[in-house]
Structure 1
Amino acid sequence: MTFSELLDAVRNHPSSVSIPASWAQGRSCFGGLMAALQFEAMRARVATDRPIRSLAVCFVGPPAIDVPISFEVEILREGKAVSQVLGRAIQKGETVTLIQGSFGAPRESAIAVAADPAPEFKAVDEVPAFPFIAGVMPEYLRYIDMRWALGGLPYSNTPSAAIGGYARLKDVPEERLTEAHVLALVDTWPPAVLPHLNKPAPGSSLTWTIEFVQPLPAMSTHEWTRYRAVIEHARDGYGHVAAGLWTPKGELIAISRQTVTVFG
């Protein structure tokens, strides 16, 4: 199933969605897809005039492949402008992913501060494609076009302070980029600490917070997003990483922070 087909599945049958092996990340499902599906279930329960402002994601346990998942939603509070929403992905009676989301209508404000400029990379056509290698790379990467433009590759023994480059989804219709697409694109990048290793080792997100610039800058799903992640601290098997995602025009789309675990 493609990304778009899985989004349709959760919109139509949120109580029973099975994720196929082609979206695997190790022994589990791709975390960015899990977040996108849970978000879609939450989005459907909130008024459209309240865009998503922030999500706090906790990957509680590894969801199994090809086993039905129920994407449950609880409205915690409906304020005058902000809706607080809790999403739970349940599999075999256990919570595997937990998301708290804040949806907020715009307010009048005298404050307007521009974002920092986007990172400067070589033009996307000058950066080699990052090919998918079955059996070596996580299966979900077959659905992602990537161009690595900053820092070392995973397990290259490169003490990069940052990684980044270009990414877009494959096999999606050309349409306006949504927050669900953004969740998959931000989490598609591996933990920024992995280039520091000289051999493969498991690594994954433990917690993830992501904030969206609203209104979401207009761009197509067929255009390239630009990503940069910076390691702020890493020790004792945990890394703390700040990241951003930009449009081709350099407009900020989202701000991300992750605590990642790495066993190496």
Structure 2
Amino acid sequence: MTRTDRSPGAASAATIPPYASAAAHPLDADTALEPLGDGSFRGRASKRYCNVGGSFGGFVSAIALKAALLHPKRLGEPIALTVNFAGPLADGELTVHARAARTNRSTQHWQMEVAQGGEVVATATAVFAVRRQTWSSTESEFPQAPPFDSVQPLAPGRATPWMGNYDMRFIRGTASAAARPEAPWDSVTTMWIRDNPPRPLDYVSLATICDAFFPRIYVRRPDIAPFGTTVSLTTYFHVDSEMMAAHGDRELLGTAKALQFRNGYCDQTAEIWTPAGELIAATHQTALFRI
């Protein structure tokens, strides 16, 4: 989840670009892209997915990935996405350029660039592939969690507009010191999450959800009001379109933890599971922090 130093603006009604359907789900309306030719697309960031000073990182990731998904030369489905955040994405028009750098027998490699006002705000790479049925195994363990309906959702009045687009139900590890009277000796978060309003799962929504965890510094040190912002985020997709269609718009279980805090930077790893115990995505990111 990215954050910048600039003061948050008041949330306002999203501006729907002419190439987006006003009746679409908010995520679809806000990630709508208009082809400009030569692999370039025009889009528009709105306050709905705004963080402190700019769009939250999951939205930027989704915009970059969607450009490759919409590209006429695209083959297969994404298995990996890396986004490097160079600067904040403000409300307003943006452009995305996607280029197939190389297509091999099994994989297709993509390069994307998100720009606004003549400046690059994010660079990204993605790997697409056509999966084939073969031996599969999951070594990671499904997190223990109470049922979705038994956990209270995060209360209204959330700190940033983007959080209002998700039904978050924390089981462990909120970013609030008041909610953690015990000493915060670890940064583990486990929570149920789904789009609000509910939306059938696809790669665009999964890319946003994979960055819906607060930077771990907020969980480890909520007592000192730290600052954190994602620098680089890599997501590995372990799911195909058929699996997502079967999942529909149901909730997902996410868990995240940090591995190391050192000299102003930390990393964090996260997993996204279906209620049936299927691991569908794993992420790793590097974040800057100040305390």
Question: TM (normalized to structure 1)?
Answer: 0.89
Unaligned ranges ≥5, structure 2: 1-13, 15-25
**Distance in 2 separating the partners of 1:56 and 1:230:** 19
Distance 1:170 1:108 in 2: 33
SS at match of 2:108: strand
- Structure 2 counterparts to residues 122-133 of structure 1, below 5 A: 122-133=146-157
Amino acid at match of 1:185: I
Using the TM superposition, give the Cα deviation of residue 16 of structure 1 relative to its aligned residue in structure 2, in angstroms: 2.7
The aligned residue for residue 117 of structure 1 is 141
Report if aligned partners of 1:32, 1:185 keep a CA contact under 8 Å in 2: yes
Listed as ranges, the matches of 1:1-264 within 5 Å are: 1=14, 2-7=26-31, 9-10=32-33, 15-45=41-71, 50-66=76-92, 68-106=93-131, 112-133=136-157, 137-155=159-177, 158-172=184-198, 174-175=199-200, 177-197=201-221, 198-215=223-240, 217-218=243-244, 219-264=246-291
**Letter aligned with residue 274 of structure 2:** T
Percent identity between matched residues is: 19
Q: Does the 8 Å CA contact 1:168/1:221 hold for their aligned counterparts?
A: no
Deviation at 1:92, TM superposition (A): 1.2
- Give the whole-Å Cα distance in 2 for the aligned partners of 1:162 and 1:31: 20
Q: Which string of whole-angstrom CA distances, capped at 9 and with x for unpartnered residues, describes residues 53-79 of structure 1? A: 10111011111222x110111111111
The one-letter amino acid of 1:118's match is F
Q: Deviations over 1:135-158 (max 9, x none)?
A: xx1111111110011224345562
Rounded Cα–Cα distance in structure 1 between residues aligned with 2:80 and 2:162:
25
Query: How far is 1:250 from its partner?
Result: 1.1
Counterpart amino acid of 2:151? V
In the TM superposition, what whole-angstrom CA distance separates every residue of 1:220-256 from its partner, at most 9, and x where no partner exists? 4531100001211112221111110001111011010
Q: How many Å separate the matches in 2 of 1:181 and 1:43?
A: 13
Tell me the CA shift for residue 38 of structure 1.
1.3
- How many residue pairs were aligned? 257
| Distance in structure 2 (CA, Å) of the matches to 1:86 and 1:29 | 21
**Residues 155, 191 of structure 1: alpha-carbon distance in 2 compared, 3 angstrom cutoff:** farther
C-alpha offsets along residues 208-227 of structure 1, whole Å, 9 cap, x if unaligned?
A: 11101143533445311000
Instruction: Work out the CA distance in 2 between the residues paired with 1:155 and 1:71.
Output: 39
Query: Shift of the alpha carbon at 1:11?
Result: 5.2
For residues 170 and 53 of structure 2, the distance between their equivalents in structure 1, rounded to whole angstroms, comes to: 25
| Structure-2-length-normalised TM-score | 0.81
- How far apart, in 1, do the equivalents of 2:211 and 2:234 lie? 11
RMSD, matched Cα? 2.1
